[in-house]
Amino acid sequence: MSSFLLLAAEGLEPFTGEPSALVRSSWIIVVLPLLSAAVIAAFGRLMPMKGAEVGIGTLAVMWVMALGVGWETFTNPVYFYENSLAWAPLGGGITLELGMLVDGLTGMMLVLVTTVSLMVHVYSREYMHGEERFTYFYAMLSLFTFSMLVLVLANNTLQGVVGWELVGLCSYLLIGFYWQEKSNADAANKAFLTTKFADVGLIVGVIILSSGVGSLGGEFAETPFNLTLTNQAAVAGALPEFAIVAGMLFIFLGCVAKSGQMPLHVWLPDAMAGPTPVSALIHAATMVTAGIFLIARLYPVLAQSLTVMNIVAVVGVITLFLGGLVALVQDDIKKVLAYSTVSQLGYMMAALGVGSYTAGVFHLFTHGFFKALLFLGSGSLIHAVHSNNMSDMGGLRKYMPHTFWTFVVGSLALAGFPLTAGFFSKDEVLVGAGIWSDNGLVMGDVVFWVGLAGALVTTFYMARAIFLIFFGEHRGAHHDEHGHDGHDGDDAHAPEPTTVVDEQGVERPVPAGGAGGGGDHHGDPHESGRQILVPLVALALLSFPVGFSGGFLWTNVGGSEAMNFETWTATEVIDHAQYPFLADYEPWGEVVDGEFVKPASDDHGGDGATGEGEEASAAPLASGVNAAPLAAAAEDGGVSNHVLHGAPTFHLEVFVPALLAFIIGVGGAFAIYGRGRPERDPTLHMGGFTTLLERKYYLDDIGYAAVVVPVRDHLARWTSDSSNDGRYAIDKLVAGVGTLTKRLSLSTYRTLDQKVIDGGVNGAALSAAWWSERLKRIQSGDVQRYAGALVAGTVVLVLVIAANA
């Protein structure tokens, strides 16, 4: 593999200025959607737009603020602002923090989340118009945005976990929006349970990692969950290896499910049962990227272990390729996009696994935009033809031109057509893989070639989709069963609807003639309304510029070398992070007495290649140093020990294969589908291979047989039996205790109560009666005797007194 040339960027000076008021108050961006969700939930029904105005308004404000934060972090590279309040001491000396961390990565995620969320909010006004639970939908959207932002702005892993779980919850609620149909409820359950299963790993990993951090003492032991401290400890090489490997592996387990890596991706396609705006927001741009985001946040820790990185890369590679393959046999447009998402997430994960931090994050950023665009566009299509299936579409180019060209733009971006955002980001991934392989690590090669193959597959299925949907003859005039686009489920059939939502989204009652009459309302499909189209157009337009900041043409279009995507998302720690398993590793900074001490010297990532000149062999190149260009080092198979690779440059050896893949893919798809005959789809006629793909590699079946059946049928029944059934030990034990108690109480009653206590009490009474029986005879009524007694007593008294006197 030929080496890659890199332009050495200017030294990355960490931002030492004063954060602006906007950044300091960026927690408001997080809290606003929570408030808006509460307001919508409480008052939404009373408002004229049923809560949508609150949601859209709030998001517009947030979007502006997020843009401000993004701009500030972009123009001040290696930005860093952290603020937290010690919320509660957890005991054991640990303090629970509630805080925010604003750096470039945060700014980027803020821009992404708020932009896509705003687009989805606007889109949903028309898409979900007339829906009974419209207000609930908007409240949930706001709540979801809040949850995601909690994760994005978290400055410690615990808070991140909180946001993670909240996001999972909101996704469950939103996927199961049409819960009346059992398959939709099942899909929501599947999503929730799969991610929850992996969340165990996440939490265990967080705990292991924090215990590793806490073992360093001092401020590390006080707030071991803090991200900055964790990364600093990792970069200083001070974290114990067990914490790194075990912690990151478990955390990665959580990310596997959340970010749809194989084999825990199974929930993502089923999650298409939710409304399309939900899919766009959650499953394209935000929630599924949470896993990638977390790994990116903890990247310095990940970078300490080659094992973990390899595992990450392997999982990513498998996902990206196999996920893409399944998309070839899907008829449901949303499923195509879902598997495409799975595949692209695999790209991001693979990028992170081969040391391309910037590339992975960059792809996350761009993918968010164009996948959201694609999902929204598919929503527009579904809205028009009232069916998810591509076999019901066709020839829609004539009827829905705007949807058409925005969808095409999105697909081009996804496929990596030159100059689109996807092109630059996918390029970055491959370049990063190449650099990794230059370091002698074979995983780089694997990712590079599989990534290329994946690009080919991606292009192919997207082209297939486009040709099937927009070209040829419209096949939808015969549809008559799907009257409601509410059930966007896989093969889900709604019960015979009593109302029908037509193109304008207005609910109308189905005429009494039944199913057949439904067709009359939907003649030819027509273009969707403005509120659907505007977000589409906006996202389409964005699909170009968002990619430039990270691409190699940035400087050509007026960007500066010192401010590009890489500098935007860099942090000081990442800038100096090095891979311990590569040559000439030197930890940056050290942990002394529980405090992180930066190295005194000014040169960033100071190791071998200082200004004195490079060594001949294995001269690592600092990204921030005014070192000689890599050209010299390249002949030596120069390696880069640093995480950041510097500003991206043009690589012909990547560009050409990618372009070839694109052309082959489009050409092949056109050849097969161009004339719009889906029945001749060869992917559906590949026999066993098709079955394998259609059955999604039997992962669902394996999961069902291996997990669901044993737990649900056997484990649950055994547990219930052993506690409830009287034949089992537990019940016997309980019954035995009961019998013993009864016997004990009976004996207590008989002896203690009746004989002793009652005997005592009765005996007292009886003795009183006995004595009284005898003593009463004193009162004989005989007065003379009384007198005698009186006198006798007197005599006695006198005697006594006389004796004593």
Nearer to other proteins, 478 or 777 (CB): 777
The number of residues that bind other proteins (CB under 8 A) is 18
94 SS3 class = strand
Give the whole-angstrom CA distance, residue 403 versus residue 476: 17
Site string for other proteins, 155-194 (x = CB under 8 A): ----------------------------------------
Nearer to other proteins, 762 or 794 (CB): 794
Residues 214, 157 contacting (CB under 8 angstroms): no
1 CB burial (10 A radius; 0-12, 13-18, 19+): middle
> How many H-runs (helices) and E-runs (strands) does the chain carry?
34, 6
CB-hemisphere CA count at 13 Å for 62? Answer: 32
Q: Which helix (H) or strand (E) holds 212?
A: helix 182-214
Residues 767-796 that bind other proteins (CB under 8 A): 776-777, 779-785, 787-788, 791-792, 794-795
Task: Tell me the torsion sign for CA atoms 280, 269, 297, 197.
Answer: positive
Residues 110-129 that bind other proteins (CB under 8 A): none
DSSP string, 336-371: HHHHHHHHHHHHHHHHHHTT-HHHHHHHHHHHHHHH
Give the whole-angstrom CA distance, residue 22 versus residue 20: 5
Distances (CA, A) of 663 to 260, 660, 704: 28, 5, 40
Nearer to other proteins, 597 or 799 (CB): 799
Nearer to other proteins, 706 or 799 (CB): 799
Shortest distance in whole angstroms from residue 767 CB to other proteins: 18
802 belongs to the binding site for other proteins (CB under 8 A): yes
Nearer to other proteins, 746 or 797 (CB): 797
DSSP 713: I
Shortest distance in whole angstroms from residue 802 CB to other proteins: 7
Q: Which two tokens stand for residue 555?
A: 């400087």
Nearer to other proteins, 16 or 784 (CB): 784
Q: Residues 6 or more apart from 557 whose CB is under 8 A from it?
A: 548
Nearer to other proteins, 88 or 795 (CB): 795
798 belongs to the binding site for other proteins (CB under 8 A): yes
Q: Which helix (H) or strand (E) holds 119?
A: helix 104-127
Nearer to other proteins, 18 or 773 (CB): 773
Give the whole-angstrom CA distance, residue 36 versus residue 57: 9
Give the whole-angstrom CA distance, residue 102 versus residue 431: 28
Give the whole-angstrom CA distance, residue 780 versus residue 793: 17
DSSP string, 734-750: HHHHHHHHHHHHHHIII
Q: What is the largest distance, in Å, between two alpha-carbon atoms of the chain?
A: 145
Shortest distance in whole angstroms from residue 751 CB to other proteins: 37
Shortest distance in whole angstroms from residue 763 CB to other proteins: 23
Nearer to other proteins, 716 or 791 (CB): 791
Shortest distance in whole angstroms from residue 775 CB to other proteins: 9
Shortest distance in whole angstroms from residue 780 CB to other proteins: 6
Shortest distance in whole angstroms from residue 768 CB to other proteins: 15
Shortest distance in whole angstroms from residue 742 CB to other proteins: 48
Site string for other proteins, 421-460 (x = CB under 8 A): ----------------------------------------
Shortest distance in whole angstroms from residue 784 CB to other proteins: 5
Give the whole-angstrom CA distance, residue 188 versus residue 171: 8
82 SS3 class = strand
Shortest distance in whole angstroms from residue 762 CB to other proteins: 23
Give the whole-angstrom CA distance, residue 15 versus residue 17: 6
DSSP 709: I
Site string for other proteins, 722-761 (x = CB under 8 A): ----------------------------------------
Shortest distance in whole angstroms from residue 789 CB to other proteins: 8
Nearer to other proteins, 765 or 797 (CB): 797
Nearer to other proteins, 71 or 786 (CB): 786
706, 746, 764, 799: which one binds other proteins (CB under 8 A): 799
Shortest distance in whole angstroms from residue 764 CB to other proteins: 21
Site string for other proteins, 223-262 (x = CB under 8 A): ----------------------------------------
Nearer to other proteins, 90 or 768 (CB): 768
693, 803, 707, 704: which is closest to 339 by C-alpha?
693
805 belongs to the binding site for other proteins (CB under 8 A): no
Residues 604, 620 contacting (CB under 8 angstroms): no
Shortest distance in whole angstroms from residue 795 CB to other proteins: 5
Shortest distance in whole angstroms from residue 761 CB to other proteins: 25
132, 136, 133, 125: which is closest to 41 by C-alpha?
136
Q: Which two tokens stand for residue 444?
A: 């780089």
Shortest distance in whole angstroms from residue 799 CB to other proteins: 7
- Tell me whether the omega of the peptide bond preceding residue 263 falls within 30 degrees of 0, making it cis: yes
First to last CA, the chain: 134
Burial 601-632 (b: 16+ CB within 10 A, else e): eebbbbbbbeeeebeeebbbbbbbbebeebee
DSSP string, 641-657: -BS---B----HHHHHH
CB-hemisphere CA count at 13 Å for 251? Answer: 31
Shortest distance in whole angstroms from residue 793 CB to other proteins: 10
Shortest distance in whole angstroms from residue 779 CB to other proteins: 5
Q: Residues 6 or more apart from 127 whose CB is under 8 A from it?
A: 275, 276, 277, 379, 383, 505, 532
Provide the CA 575 distance to its chain's centre, in angstroms: 26
Packing angle, helices 134-153 and 27-43, rounded to 10: 160
Nearer to other proteins, 43 or 786 (CB): 786
Shortest distance in whole angstroms from residue 794 CB to other proteins: 8
Nearer to other proteins, 705 or 792 (CB): 792
Nearer to other proteins, 652 or 775 (CB): 775
Nearer to other proteins, 744 or 800 (CB): 800
Nearer to other proteins, 727 or 776 (CB): 776
Other beta carbons within 10 angstroms of residue 513's beta carbon come to 9
Nearer to other proteins, 720 or 794 (CB): 794
Binding site for other proteins (CB under 8 A): 776-777, 779-785, 787-788, 791-792, 794-795, 798-799, 802
